[in-house]
Amino acid sequence: DTGDVCGGHGTRVAGIIAATGNNGSGLAGLNWTAQILPVIVSGPCSVSQVDTADGLVWAVNQGARVINMSLQFSAPTEYLHDAILYAADNDVLVVAASGNSGSSVTYPGKWPETIAVGAMTKAGVLLNFSGTTRYCSRTNEMRFSPGS
C-alpha cells in the first residue's frame, strides 16, 4: 500500500520533484524523468525512528540515489543515525526537513550526512516555524524552498 496517510504531504513533495510538465495541474516538477520509489514509514501522521530507519535502509537496498525525509525528530537515536550513515556510505544523498521548531534544525536534518531544507514564502521570507539555524550538513548552510 502506497497510500499517503498524512494529508498528502508525501504526494505533494513527490509532485514538486517529479511532476511532468503540461499535465493539466498547473505544476511541473524539477525533474520530469525522475522515478519515485514511495516508502511509507508512518501511520496516520505519526512516525517512529525505527520504522524510518528501516524504510531508509530498504530504499537504499532498492537502488534509491536520493532520499527525501520530510519528517522531524527532536532527539536523535543511534539506530536512525546508523541508517543515515548506511545511505551516505552507499553514496545516497539524503535530504531532510529542517523541522518546524522555529529555531534549531531537527533530526535527521541536523546530522552532517544530510542536507537540511527549511521553508520560505514565495517572496523569499523565511517562515517563522521553519528550523533556521545556520548549522547544516555538508555545506554548513541551510537550503530553503517555498513552504506556503
Task: For residue 123, give Cα distances in angstroms to 130, 135, 143.
Answer: 15, 23, 15
Query: Do residues 118 and 124 make contact, with C-beta atoms less than 8 angstroms apart?
Result: no
3-state secondary structure the chain: CCCCCCCCHHHHHHHHHHCCCCCCCCCCCCCCCCCCCCCCCEECCEECHHHHHHHHHHHHHCCCCEEEECCCECCCCHHHHHHHHHHHHCCCEEEEECCCCCCCCCECCCCCCEEEEEEECCCCCECCCCCCCCCCCCCCCCEEEECC
Q: Look up the pTM and report it.
A: 0.78
Give the integer Cα–Cα distance in Å for 93 and 111.
13
* Residue closest to 141 by CA, chosen among 106, 105, 99: 105
Question: Is 102:128 a contact under the CB 8 Å cutoff?
Answer: yes
pLDDT in tens, the chain (148 residues): 456 666 677 777 888 888 888 888 888 888 888 899 988 887 777 789 999 999 999 999 999 999 988 888 889 999 999 999 999 999 999 988 776 666 677 888 888 899 888 766 666 666 555 555 444 444 434 444 545 5
Which single residue is written with the C-alpha cell 521570507?
125
